[in-house]
Amino acid sequence: MFSKLSIAALLAIASTIAALPQQTAVPSLGPLIGEEAIIDKTNYPHKHGAIAHADGVAPLAPSPTAPPQKRAASQLVIEVINKFGKDVYTRHAHNQGGPGAISGNVADGVLKNGASAAFAVPTGWAGNIAVVENGGGRQIVGDESLIEGSFVAQAGVGSGAIIDVDVSYVSGFSVPIVCSCDEVGHVVTGCNKNLWGLNSCPNDNRVGSCKNPQRTQDFDNAQPSKFFAPCAHQAFTVPRDPGANANNICTRGVVRCCIGTSCPGHP
């Protein structure tokens, strides 16, 4: 039998443990397979998302700075989960002159429906993942939905590498994507709406994507076209949209991105 004192002590210990930051589960990472491409800035001209930190371009980052003790990640792991209902094709790329992935499969290839894949990148990495539905003549040509991320030091934002992630439809839309992290508990960027089913695409590239007519409208207050408007402020639908960028929100080193309308929606 526990005494009242011992029970009180146990409850106090349990309360203390519950208050401690919970460990984020790291997805399984295999050896490095494949090699990322180099981002073609002609096809992917977006300057103000997560990769801006590695370009010397002033990023759009309205999010608050996290306490220093939370910025302890030594690498960034990105997990991509396919809930699209069909297979998708992915292509990884990183910025010219920057480091590439250090583990996981980053080769061009098919991610089966219901499957997931993860890869890890070191400090200094900035890159993207282009996604399109697989098959039927669809191709990655520069008009696709993108996961954009960076893990670089940012001037005036603490010390060490900071995680920045966004979902971009600036070049175009192919499939819906959202990204989240465990420590926040909800989607931080992206839009799970299937834009193909909401409006007619005026710029269908005929290989799986709707090309964004506003991709070059790089000025404040630019407005998305009707097709892209349902995802405004959740994913980038015009080059400048600070509401779509999740900078220094995910701090534990793992970002999970989900493809499909059955993924959680942006709050």
Q: What is the CATH number of the domain that holds 142?
A: 2.60.110.10
> How many Cβ atoms are within 10 Å of 6's Cβ, its own excluded?
10
> How many Cβ atoms are within 10 Å of 253's Cβ, its own excluded?
20
Q: Which residues pair with 76 in a beta bridge?
A: 121
High-pLDDT (> 70) share of the chain, %: 82
Residue 144 lies inside a defined structural domain of this protein: yes
Q: Amino acid identity of 162? A: I
Q: Give the CA count within 13 Å in the CB-facing half-sphere of 257.
A: 29
Model confidence at 177, pLDDT cuts 50, 70, 90, reads: very high
Residue 231 lies inside a defined structural domain of this protein: yes
9 token code pair? 């002590």
8 token code pair? 């009180």
Residue 14 lies inside a defined structural domain of this protein: no
181 token code pair? 């992290």
- State the pTM of this model: 0.85
13 Cα distance to chain centroid: 37
Q: What is the reported pLDDT for 14? A: 44
Average pLDDT over residues 46-62: 62
Torsion from C-alpha of 93, 75, 25, 192, nearest 10 degrees = -30
Residue 17 lies inside a defined structural domain of this protein: no
Q: Which residue has the higher pLDDT, 46 or 218?
A: 218
Residue 19 lies inside a defined structural domain of this protein: no
Q: Which residues pair with 82 in a beta bridge?
A: 259
Residue 126 lies inside a defined structural domain of this protein: yes
Is residue 91 within 8 Å of 37, Cβ to Cβ?
Answer: yes
Domain count, the chain: 1
Model confidence at 50, pLDDT cuts 50, 70, 90, reads: confident
- Considering Cα of 134, then 136, then 141, then 142, what sign does the dihedral take? negative
Task: Tell me which residue of 266, 86, 112 sits closest to 189, measured CA to CA.
Answer: 266
Residue 136 lies inside a defined structural domain of this protein: yes
Q: Give the CA count within 13 Å in the CB-facing half-sphere of 214.
A: 23
Triad 110, 113, 119: Cα angle to 5° = 55
Residue 146 lies inside a defined structural domain of this protein: yes
Residue 196 belongs to domain spanning? 25-259
